[in-house]
Amino acid sequence: MAAASNVGTVAALGTAQTLAWASTYYLPAMLAVPMARELGVSTPTVFAAFSVALGVSALIGPWAGRAIDLHGGRPVLMGTSLLFAFGLLALGASQGIWSLFAAWALIGLAMGSGLYEAAFSALVRLYGHGSRNAITGITLIAGFASTVGWPLSALLETHFGWRGACFAWAGLHLLLGLPLNAALPRVAVVAPSDPKKPLDIDAVPQSAFRARTTTALLAFVFATTWFISTAMAAHLPSLLQASGASLAVAVGVGALIGPAQVAGRLLEFGFLRHVHPLLSARLAALGHPLGVVGLLIAGPVLAPLFAVLHGAGNGILTIAKGTLPLVLFGPQGYGARQGWLMLPARVAQALAPFLFGLALVRWGAGALWLSAGLGILALLAIMALPGECTQLAQQVADLQERIAAEERHRQSLEEKHQHARQALEHFRQSTKEQRDQDQRKHEQQVQYLLAELRTVNDTLATKQQEAVHALQDNARLLGDLSRAQGDLHQAQ
């Protein structure tokens, strides 16, 4: 039953994520041109508004993750379904540049609390360390977001215009996305954790310095890989043409990216799930630089290999963005940490199309050396992360430190117990001495009272004898008086 419940949760969340990505991240590619034409702005202006949405999503991410840590993913993701719907309704109703930017900012709030990072956090809140397969599962399903989103947006725009397409996506969020997110299991609300509380025993590292170093390395890896992914998504056809491929070849090769991503995630779900996530991430980070080297050396003939290596690596790295923080830090505080880790990545994602476009204009196909260099730097950063052996060694060191701390605590308790026993013995001795002293004093008082009593008794006996003598004397005197009176009578 538990496995069936997990499958249902992954299916529901994966479908909701497909809808979220298709209706936001992949929306401008199909609707930017008609949107700009009707609103009287340039197409780059529409993409600038989309970049604002990415910036807003970066800022909101840590707080959304914190909310999921405390309340679970269900209420947060249900709220983002409503935000997605309201944002798309506002976008469809926009009449000028200000309302356009405001609508995308509202969509950015939903993106920051309703895309992969939030979904990963929801799964970790539900399954803890056992979330790796579930994370892979939702990325497998949501990997078809562009496959669904681009043709559906184009179809809706053809029949109902770009405004009708936005309204239709908003309706799907209310009719499909909201019930799917509402189907997620409920979790108990937890109180905010003590920041000084030790991390999970399976997490590494625990020292403040190592934690900061690992966080910085992960943030760098996520930022560079998202920069590369977004730059390729925006400029791949132009890059391939600059390397000598025809437009038809460039389009055909670009179409391989999506299937390669899904293939990479299937590889992660099948074979690579039996190895440490760091090994998967290292292999994935190597994909783009190897593809670039082959493409720039051999030319368009190896363009399909480049697409496969880049796509598969990007697909696995998407999963690594969810699994690496889990395996390195544990599930405690995962959502908030994930939000902070992805903040630089969101900024890099927003800047990638513009910055890499400048490099493409200046260097042509040579701009790929820039992305390859960033990929190698990301690989080196992943190599610097604590691996499984380092993790086990750190866990042993942490356990030894905890044992030493417990031993110190035990010794402290024994010392306190000894002091307490000494104090109790001193109290007992003092009490005994006081009791003996009181007893001696009491005995002395009793002896004194007994002596006084004897004295009083002796005095009383003496007085009684004197009284008897006095009575005898009185009786004699009375006898003498009586005889004298008798003699007097006779004399008369």
In a domain, 487, yes or no: no
Are 8 and 154 in the same domain? yes
Q: C-alpha 491: how far from its chain's center?
A: 140
Question: Most confidently modeled of 20-29, 165-174, 205-214?
Answer: 165-174
Q: Is 5 inside a domain boundary?
A: yes
Structural domain includes residue 290: yes
Kindly calculate the radius of gyration of the chain based on its CA atoms and give it in whole angstroms.
45
Question: Using CB atoms within 10 A of its CB, is residue 450 exposed (0-12), middle (13-18) or buried (19+)?
Answer: exposed
Q: Which CATH number belongs to the domain containing residue 13 in this structure?
A: 1.20.1250.20
Q: How far apart are CA 345 and CA 338, in angstroms?
A: 11
Residues 304 and 247 in one domain: yes
pLDDT at residue 90 is higher than 90: yes
Helices H / strands E in the chain, number of each: 17, 0
Interval 194-217 mean pLDDT: 59
**Distance (Å, whole) CA 200 – CA 351:** 36
Q: Are 131 and 7 in contact (CB under 8 A)?
A: no
Q: Which region among 34-38, 85-89, 226-230, 318-322 has the lowest average model confidence (pLDDT)?
A: 318-322
pLDDT per residue as tens digits for the range 363-384: 888 888 998 999 999 899 888 8
Residue 288 amino acid letter: H
Contacts of 195 (CB under 8 A, 6+ apart): none
Question: Which pair of structure tokens corresponds to residue 437?
Answer: 């002293």
Residues 287 and 155 in one domain: no
For residues 283 and 334, the answer to whether their CB atoms sit within 8 Å is no
The H or E element containing residue 322 is helix 303-329
Out of 386, 402, 427, a domain closes at 386
Reported confidence tier of residue 338, pLDDT bands at 50, 70, 90: confident
Task: For tokens 């080196």, name the residue.
Answer: 380
pLDDT at 196: 39
Is the pLDDT at 50 greater than 60? The verdict is yes
Picking from 353, 386, 419, the residue at the C-terminal end of a domain is 386
Q: What is the per-residue pLDDT across 449-483, written as a single tens digit (0 to 9) for each?
A: 888 888 888 888 888 888 888 888 888 888 888 88
Residues 174, 266, single domain; the answer is: no
Average pLDDT over residues 88-117: 91
Same domain, 153 and 11: yes
Quick one: 184 and 221 in the same domain? no
pLDDT tens across 272-314, in order?
Answer: 777 788 888 888 888 889 988 988 888 888 888 888 888 888 8
Distance CA 163, CA 370 (A): 38
For residue 318 the two structure tokens come to 């998407």
Residue 202 host element (H or E): none
415 in a domain, yes or no?
no
- Asked if residue 491 belongs to a domain, the reply is no
User: Is there a single domain that holds both residue 28 and residue 118?
Assistant: yes
Which residues make Cβ contacts (< 8 Å) with residue 166, sequence separation at least 6? 27, 31, 88, 89, 91, 92
The answer to whether the beta carbons of residues 295 and 306 sit under 8 Å apart is: yes
Band the pLDDT of 101: cuts 50, 70, 90.
very high
The answer to whether residues 10 and 43 belong to one domain is yes
- Residue 420 located in a structural domain: no
For residue 168, give Cα distances in angstroms to 19, 89, 150, 358. Answer: 12, 9, 14, 36
- In the block, residue with structure tokens 């979330």: 131
Residues 162 and 289 placed together within one structural domain of the fold: no
Pick from 25, 19, 18, 21: nearest CA to 53: 25
The number of angstroms, rounded, from the C-alpha of 295 to the middle of its chain's C-alpha atoms is 40
- Taking the alpha carbons at both ends of the chain, their separation in whole angstroms is 145
- Where do we find the tokens 């993790």? 391
Total number of domains constituting the chain: 2
* Distances from the Cα of 347 to the Cα of 98, 383, 426, angstroms: 22, 24, 70
The pLDDT of 428-436, averaged and rounded, is 81
Give me the domain span that covers residue 237: 211-386
Are 172 and 307 part of one and the same domain? Answer: no
Per DSSP, the three-state class of 148 is helix
The reply to whether 173 and 247 lie within a common domain is no
Residue that terminates a domain, selected from 337, 361, 386: 386
On the question of pLDDT at 202 being above 70, the answer is: no
Q: Are 350 and 108 in contact (CB under 8 A)?
A: no
Assess if residue 414 is contained within a domain.
no
Portion of the chain with pLDDT greater than 70, in percent: 91
pLDDT category at 408 given cuts 50, 70, 90 is confident
Burial 97-135 (b: 16+ CB within 10 A, else e): eeebbbbbbbbbbbbbbbbbbbbbbbbbbbbeeebbbbb
State the burial class of residue 376 (Cβ atoms within 10 Å of its Cβ: 0-12, 13-18, 19+).
Answer: middle
CB count, 10 Å around CB of 247?
11
Do 155 and 283 lie in a common domain? no
